[in-house]
Amino acid sequence: LLSDAAESIVNLVAAFVALLALHVASRPPDDDHHYGHSKAEYFSAVVEGVMIFVAAVFILLTSVERFLHPQGLQNVGVGLGISVIASVLNGTVAMLLLRAGRAHNSIT
């Protein structure tokens, strides 16, 4: 459940970063950006990649620690409830991103 929580946090933060990047990318060209702001979307991909890497390292370190020093399960119901809520939030944010991406002809 700990790895699921880390993955859910990464998904939610990455989704909000993607929404922000999509908002910036939809701006029209101006004096400083003659070809528009569409490349802003690529920054969200970099942020998400870094976050996934950090979460993977966290999960790896935690799993090795728990393998070497086993612990009993605690608060399984709470963890399961949080996972369900996170899944619903992730699904909702995914739908919002899909709609926003289609509306702005997003390349990512």
Determine if the pTM surpasses 0.85. no
The tokens of 68 are what?
């070497």
Buried b (16+ CB within 10 A) or exposed e, 49-72: eebeeebeeebeeeeeeeeeeeee
Tally the domains of the chain: 1
Note the pLDDT tens digit of each residue in 40-77: 778 888 888 898 898 889 889 988 998 999 888 777 78
State the Cα–Cα distance between residues 13 and 15, nearest whole angstrom: 5
108 belongs to a structural domain = no
76 part of a folded domain: yes
Residue pLDDT, tens place only, 98-108: 887 788 776 66
Provide the residue range defining the domain that includes 20: 2-103
